[in-house]
Amino acid sequence: MKKYRVFSLANEIGISTTELIKYLKELGIEVKGNLSTIDEENANIVKDLVLKDKESRTKREKEVKGNIKIVEICKHLNISFKFLIPYILKWGLVRENINEEIPFPVAARICNSFKKPITDILPPLPKNYKTRPPIVTVMGHIDHGKTTLLDSIRKTNIALREKGGITQKIGASEIEFEGKKIIFIDTPGHEAFTEMRIRGSFVTDIVILVVAADEGAKEQTIEALNHAKAANVPIIVAVNKIDKEGADPDKVRQQMANYNLLPEEWGGETIFVNTSAKTGIGINELLENIILISEIEELSKSDEKRPGGTVIEAKLDPRVGPTANLILQAGELKCGDWIMVGETYGKVRMLTTANQKQVKEVEATAPVEIIGLKDTPLPGEILIGYKSEGQIKEKIEKLEMAKKEKKQEKPISLDDLFEKLEEEKKLNLVLKTDTYGSLEAIKSVINSLDTGDIKIEFVHTGVGSINESDILLATASNAIILGFNTKENPMVKKIPERSRVKVFLFDLIYELQEWVVRFVKGMVKPEFVENTIGRAEVKQVFDIGGLGLVAGSIVREGKIVRDANAKVFRGSKLIGEGKVSSLKRFKDDVKEVLEGYECGIRVEGVKEINEGDIIEVYELKEKGS
């Protein structure tokens, strides 16, 4: 075994011999002086230790320096900038570029919420950060009391009740409890919540999961729970309807514990509060706990002035035009400010607060209704303030250029899925089956599969048909959906994001099992089908010397597209096939020609073509996409 002298090892590691001797002492290795020897095993141990210490020292130095580039955080969390923006916005910071910086203590807290810390000890927040009200969403199964709970909270705690109280809702309400503000999103339920998340935005800080004590956890309870978990948001369970006969709050605790929400009183980390939305029991305790969690989470925002926020709801009001309800999370917003919201923009004409007051100016964090946008934005889209209309136009131009460069977002393909699997070594699944029996059976089968270094995680499992919530959840968590003896609910077709999710259906357990194994091994190959885009009839054929044949044609059906695959038919006989290598309208090269128009088509490699032939153009599509 190799031997090291103390001084040469110190040299190699890059520390002084005195320091090295200290380290060795700590490890219980006694040495006499610089010339003493250490064996290789101990040398390696001490090397590791010093390296680790050095690393944390550099980290600490970074903390002292204060800022960290956003790109570093994206790398650390392995997420895109787009996905990170809402988490940054929560701290009152508007950032548009991945090379901009945010304070290290804020980054450290964001990373903690993803359960991927970048430092052992949380450094204190900078001095210009002040506490802010939490933003709370109420979720849970239908009829478990979400609306009643919100009403009961609002009735007793409206922050500033003026002009006869609330007459019209603006998407979120502000209440005051023991001198502290809390903002509630008015629309309960997880659809609004998830849709916002899919668009890459997220405002909620705390989820109240309402579970009726007489019924216990139901399908949507678990869905809601999984949505909140996937969004890294702390959950408080309100065990509601405690006043009812047959209420069994302990049973609810037991059920939730099975889903990894272990009650605090049982040694876990989740707060459970028994409530009655009807009689008011437990409401104060619930609010106290919301405040407690905001303190633990140190919900705060910077005093930077640039306005930023997230849309909760938006509509086109026939009288005043596009109206957006949003939560202002950063800076100050004034009438006359130029703002961009998602893809639309405008000048703020009117600002209305949660208590129906028209104001000239709003300061974050607060719900606010805005009038003045050119178009109606979508829930979850982000508001950013600009100095002038010119600046916004520049921004829009840049975005459009980028869009042109970027190919249209395609439905996710199996190849994309494999690529992701390779990268992340993790396969997220949503599993739906016909019965609880088969659900448990399939879960245990999948859990016992040998999937090499690929980890399989169930984002959600449930019984019943594949519904909108499953699709939304799968989209938001990059999961694929497996259905066993179950179908897709026809409603899911409504979801525009539908095409971005892959659904695979099975009716034999061993088939599903084999499929998962083959999938993680990258052995499930995409199957392609031909999808006809259009047909053209050849009217006249020109031979252009070395360039080959050009078929002067008229488009009879659909459209002809340049670079698409084509087949040439004479009657039912296939004469030849190849790519549409040139497509012209008169003298101009064009990308596509629609039904009813004439054009010149050249099909690569086709040597013979006659008047009356049919050119059929098709694309290859992955089966099931």
Of the pair 220, 294, the CB lying nearest ligand GDP is at 220
Distance CA 235, CA 576 (A): 63
Distance of closest approach, residue 141 Cβ to ligand GDP, in angstroms: 7
Of 262-281, which residues contact ligand GDP (CB under 6 A)? Answer: 276-278
Of the pair 109, 144, the CB lying nearest ligand GDP is at 144
Distance of closest approach, residue 227 Cβ to ligand GDP, in angstroms: 15
Distance CA 395, CA 431 (A): 42
| Burial tier of 64 (Cβ tally within 10 Å: 0-12, 13-18, 19+) | exposed
DSSP-based three-state secondary structure for 434? coil
Distance of closest approach, residue 278 Cβ to ligand GDP, in angstroms: 4
> Which residues, 6+ apart, have CB-to-CB distance to 571 below 8 Å?
none
How many residues contact ligand GDP, by CB under 6 A?
A: 16
Q: Which window, 113-121, 140-148, 230-238, 600-608, contacts ligand GDP (CB under 6 A)?
A: 140-148
**Binder to ligand GDP among 144, 197, 253, 301 (CB under 6 A)?**
144
Is 147 a binder of ligand GDP (CB under 6 A)? yes
Distance CA 403, CA 535 (A): 30
> Which residues, 6+ apart, have CB-to-CB distance to 587 below 8 Å?
none
What is the sign of the dihedral through the CA atoms of 554, 557, 558 and 562?
negative
Q: Quick check: 98 and 81 in contact, CB under 8 A?
A: yes
**Binder to ligand GDP among 241, 253, 301, 535 (CB under 6 A)?**
241
Beta bridge partners of 212: 240
Is 145 a binder of ligand GDP (CB under 6 A)? yes
Six-digit token string for 552: 């002067």
Is 559 a binder of ligand GDP (CB under 6 A)? no
Of the pair 143, 514, the CB lying nearest ligand GDP is at 143
Of the pair 182, 238, the CB lying nearest ligand GDP is at 238
**Binder to ligand GDP among 221, 226, 240, 344 (CB under 6 A)?**
240
Is 169 a binder of ligand GDP (CB under 6 A)? no
Helix axes 468-476, 219-230, angle to 10 degrees: 20
Distance CA 433, CA 441 (A): 10
Pairing outcome for strands 455-463 and 426-433: parallel
Distance of closest approach, residue 147 Cβ to ligand GDP, in angstroms: 3
Of 185-214, which residues contact ligand GDP (CB under 6 A)? Answer: 188
Distance of closest approach, residue 192 Cβ to ligand GDP, in angstroms: 13
Distance of closest approach, residue 175 Cβ to ligand GDP, in angstroms: 17
**Binder to ligand GDP among 42, 148, 355, 485 (CB under 6 A)?**
148
Identity of the amino acid at 502 = K
Pairing outcome for strands 321-330 and 308-317: antiparallel
Is 243 a binder of ligand GDP (CB under 6 A)? yes
Is 143 a binder of ligand GDP (CB under 6 A)? yes
Distance CA 490, CA 365 (A): 40
Distance CA 524, CA 413 (A): 12
- Dihedral of the CA atoms 406, 411, 415, 418 (nearest 10)? 100
Is 248 a binder of ligand GDP (CB under 6 A)? no
Of the pair 143, 288, the CB lying nearest ligand GDP is at 143
**Binder to ligand GDP among 244, 347, 395, 443 (CB under 6 A)?**
244
Is 146 a binder of ligand GDP (CB under 6 A)? yes
Contact residues for ligand GDP, defined by CB under 6 A: 140, 142-148, 188, 240-241, 243-244, 276-278
